[in-house]
Amino acid sequence: MSAGETVVVIPARGGSKGVPRKNLRRVGGIPLIARAITSARESALVDRVVVSTDDPQIAAVAREWEAEVVERPAGISGDTASSESALLHALDALAARGVTTAVLVLVQATSPFIDPGDLDLAIARVARGEADSVFSAVESWGFLWQAGGDGAAGAIGVNHDPRVRPRRQEREPEYLETGAFYVMDAAGFRRARHRFFGRIGFALVPEAAAIEIDTEEQLALASAIAPLIAGPSTLDVDAVVTDFDGVHTDDSVIIGQNGDEFVTVSRSDGMGIARLREAGIPVLILSTETNPVVSARARKLGVEVLQGRRDKAAALADWAAERGIPLDRIAYLGNDVNDLGCFELVGWPVAVPGAHPRVLAAARFVLGAPGGDGAVRELAEAVIRTTQRRSVS
């Protein structure tokens, strides 16, 4: 293996027919392109992460998530363009920047649950010279069929004799390519101009993490299982913005005979806000309604409040821009559908348990404590822990 870097290239065209703007769609609150970048950057053996794209918006998101960008020419950005063409172009672009690539890793943004540890194991095999090309795969025990035989309704067994149905323990597994990642000796890839060459190996990955998104149905499935697979290890943000009803409260209200409204809040949540303020982390309460009780609570907590904002996303964007806080460095805590616009903007959309199903599906992180009973405190402690670890390192 020649000396050089281990480089991840993530091809991400702007066009997609099956799922429009697919690479920017979110799973677990995170754009698919950002999930791919994060998995690659968390790999211990990766030196550089590059996104190859023809799309300015994808390029901007890639830079926000700390990837380099190689602008892909229109000639290799159409529906018929191969991933190999994008890889070869990226290698040439990097070489022009003075980068020598020893191990090349193709990561596909359409696979949202790539474990950095799986990447490291595959990279190590190629770096040690044990294989020239390694791809991600899952064990398959399925009986495959193809159309054919007697008329249109006929079917032919592909990998089995239909007259013989051996038990699972009597069969050898086959291995299904997941499409998540491919690790290659860079020099060998340049010669072959294809991802499969020389000694080819496979890296087994968990079946639950092997979903590949090419349809809206697969996107919905990935969003549904994201909270079960990819819980965050950190909550690294520069500001915290919260809804009020259902977040600082349990979403219930007591109405007096004169129409006055009363809610209950948690002293523990108040302490969480106080700790965020002590840590120098800005906090904003953002509410669709205008209610004196919200103003009173904000004054008590000593935080900013914006009320009566029908377009909460626009209000949040303006607030962040005025303070110079990047949207991807904000955690937004919400519970209902009027929070979804803000979820789309920020890097850390966070939901309380019991939130609307669409909110839970869009959240990057779902808290354990309910609204009005420790949710804000739990979020605050997670942010503070990450901030403290960052300052120590």
Q: What is the pLDDT of residue 78?
A: 80
Q: What is the pLDDT of residue 281?
A: 96
As a whole number of angstroms, the distance between CA 247 and CA 147 comes to 54
DSSP label at 139?
Answer: E
* Rounded average pLDDT over 247-274: 88
Q: Which residues neighbour 278 within 8 Å (Cβ) at sequence distance 6 or greater?
A: none
Task: Kindly state the tokens that stand for 262.
Answer: 């009363």
- Residue 220, pLDDT above cutoff 70: yes
**Which one-letter amino acid corresponds to residue 158?**
V
Q: Where in the chain is the domain with CATH 3.90.550.10?
A: 5-229
4 vs 228, higher pLDDT? 4
Task: Reply yes or no on domain 239-392 having CATH 3.40.50.720.
Answer: no
> Which of 368, 336, 316 shows the shortest CA–CA distance to 245?
336
CA dihedral 146, 149, 155, 160 (to 10 degrees): -70
Which helix (H) or strand (E) covers residue 252, if one does? none
Counting Cα atoms < 13 Å in the Cβ hemisphere of 228 gives 7
* Rounded average pLDDT over 237-255: 92
As a whole number of angstroms, the distance between CA 186 and CA 5 comes to 10
pLDDT category, 72, cuts 50, 70, 90? very high
As a whole number of angstroms, the distance between CA 106 and CA 108 comes to 7
As a whole number of angstroms, the distance between CA 361 and CA 225 comes to 9
Q: What is the pLDDT of residue 147?
A: 83
The Cα diameter of the chain in Å comes to 81
Q: Whole-structure pTM over 0.85, yes or no?
A: no
> Which of 180, 231, 233 shows the shortest CA–CA distance to 209?
180
Q: Where in the chain is the domain with CATH 3.40.50.1000?
A: 239-392
40 vs 251, higher pLDDT? 40
As a whole number of angstroms, the distance between CA 389 and CA 375 comes to 22
Decide if 225 contacts 208 (C-beta within 8 A).
yes
Write out the DSSP string of 303-349. -EEE-S-S-HHHHHHHHHHHHT--GGGEEEEE-SGGGHHHHHHSSEE
183 vs 154, higher pLDDT? 183
- Residue 285, pLDDT above cutoff 90: yes
The beta strand positions in the chain, using DSSP E, are: 5-11, 26-27, 30-31, 48-53, 68-71, 101-107, 133-140, 145-147, 155-157, 174-185, 200-204, 239-242, 254-255, 261-262, 283-286, 304-306, 330-334, 348-351, 365-366
- Residue 343, pLDDT above cutoff 60: yes
As a whole number of angstroms, the distance between CA 222 and CA 213 comes to 8
pLDDT category, 75, cuts 50, 70, 90? confident
Q: What is the pLDDT of residues 132-170, one digit of tens each?
A: 999 999 998 888 888 876 656 678 888 888 888 888 888
CATH architecture of 5-229: Alpha-Beta Complex (3.90)
Terminal CA-to-CA distance of the chain, rounded, Å? 33
Mutual angle of helices 56-64 and 32-41, in 10-degree steps: 40
Q: Is 259 left (phi over 0), alpha (psi -120 to 50) or beta?
A: left
